[in-house]
């Protein structure tokens, strides 16, 4: 995991620093190129620490509206800022869990993480996963955040930010809801109201979770 987060920070630093619109992930000039997960612990920790500092530097110096490559339709530094914050926060949870400690993401950040998940990750579905047979209402109980997700006839995710009745509702603290959506926690950690099978199908469908 240390190697992974260092690689992620290294790649986004490269994209933003070079203002890349078509990055070459294997560019030999990229600082982290060649370091692998099998490296000694001290080398991995040094690599991850240096890459985190460099990402902080380049993002602090960049205008969020600057065009850069991303894997989404949002092609700017603002996407990288948001994605980097959420990926780092999620892996902090993973690291603390591995050390048998508990870490909870602050409610406003977790609620934004839910919004990011619904915007960019939930629509990328596993090809073998059936569509939910109904709509889903997601509601944070400790932060501003409510969404309704409906699946169109063509399988498209239609997300609206509203309070509305749906076939099932997933409710809980923003952190707990985010963990359930990313399948890092069971649905039993949040309240599921209505048709539970719809909630289960929705959570199981995202390919990247």
Of 98, 119, 145, the residue at which a domain comes to its end is 98
- In the chain, % of residues over pLDDT 70: 92
Please tell me whether residues 8 and 88 are part of one structural domain.
Answer: yes
Number of domains present in the structure of the chain: 2
140-174 pLDDT tens trace: 999 999 999 999 888 788 999 999 999 999 999 99
Residue 200, in any domain of the structure: yes
What confidence score (pLDDT) does residue 35 get? 58
pTM above 0.85, yes or no: yes
CB hemisphere CA count around 90 (13 angstroms): 26
Judge residue 206's burial from the number of C-beta atoms within 10 Å of its C-beta, 0-12 exposed, 13-18 middle, 19 or more buried: buried
Please tell me whether residues 132 and 78 are part of one structural domain.
Answer: no
Please tell me whether residues 73 and 124 are part of one structural domain.
Answer: no
Residue 104, in any domain of the structure: no
| pLDDT over 70 (residue 135) | yes
How many angstroms separate the CA atoms of 126 and 144, rounded?
29
Residue 194, in any domain of the structure: yes
Residue 103, in any domain of the structure: no
Residue 54, in any domain of the structure: yes
More confident of the two residues 139 and 208:
139
Please tell me whether residues 77 and 119 are part of one structural domain.
Answer: no
The b-or-e profile of 132-158 (16+ CB within 10 A means b, else e) is bebbbbbbbebbebbbbbbbeeeeebe
Please tell me whether residues 86 and 116 are part of one structural domain.
Answer: no
pLDDT grade for 89, boundaries at 50, 70 and 90: very high
What's the whole-number average pLDDT of the chain? 92
Structural domain of residue 60, as residue ranges?
2-98
Taking alpha carbons only, the member of 140, 135, 178 closest to residue 160 is: 135
């Amino acid at each position: 995991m240390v190697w992974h987060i260092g690689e992620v920070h290294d790649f986004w630093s490269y994209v933003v620093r070079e203002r890349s619109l078509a990055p070459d992930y294997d560019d030999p000039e990229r600082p982290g190129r060649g370091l692998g997960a099998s490296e000694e612990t001290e080398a991995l920790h040094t690599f991850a620490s240096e890459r985190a500092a460099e990402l902080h530097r380049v993002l602090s110096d960049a205008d969020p509206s600057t065009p850069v490559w991303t894997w989404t339709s949002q092609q700017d530094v603002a996407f990288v800022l948001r994605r980097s914050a959420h990926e780092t926060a999620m892996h902090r949870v993973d690291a603390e869990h591995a050390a048998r400690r508990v870490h909870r993401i602050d409610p406003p950040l977790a609620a934004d993480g839910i919004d990011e998940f619904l915007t960019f990750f939930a629509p990328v579905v596993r090809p073998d996963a059936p569509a939910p047979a109904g709509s889903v209402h997601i509601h944070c109980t400790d932060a501003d955040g409510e969404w309704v997700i409906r699946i169109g006839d063509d399988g498209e995710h239609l997300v609206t930010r509203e309070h509305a009745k749906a076939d099932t509702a997933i409710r809980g603290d923003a952190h707990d809801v985010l963990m359930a959506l990313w399948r890092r926690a069971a649905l039993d950690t949040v309240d599921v109201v209505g048709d539970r099978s719809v909630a289960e199908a929705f959570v199981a469908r995202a390919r990247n979770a």
